[in-house]
Amino acid sequence: EDGDSSEDESGPLGGEIAVVYAVGAIESGEGDATTIGSVTTAEALRTARLASDVKAVVLRVNSPGGSALASDVIWREVSLAKKEKPVVVSMGDVAASGGYYIACNANKVFANASTITGSIGNNYLF
């Protein structure tokens, strides 16, 4: 016997902290290696929220923003996740516009001194 109990209640992700990467421009749909897809990212956050073995979620944001609707879909999943477990954002080089928006709803937000962040939309005509 390897000492691992068959009574172990591990969830499907196999760890205590889930890391979700949000890298690139934010777009509706699936996204790819260079874009943040609202469907894929929301699904990853939902999976982490529902996994019994995940005690906290880290959302790593490196994004200049993009679609307002896609950003709102992700923001909602961050909101739902933080009701269940702590959500911490780690900002990379940039978290601006929609990237800032998906980050601002977390329990804690960490940024580097050199992170470019802020600016949620300013498209008003005067």
Query: How far, in Å, CA of 17 to CA of 15, rounded?
Result: 6
Q: Catalytic residue among 5, 90, 97, 119, which?
A: 97
Residue 39's Cβ-count burial label (10 Å; 0-12, 13-18, 19+) is middle
* 28 catalytically annotated: no
**Nearest CA among 55, 59, 50 for reference residue 20:** 59
Q: Which tokens sit at 4?
A: 């691992």
Query: What residues act catalytically?
Result: 97
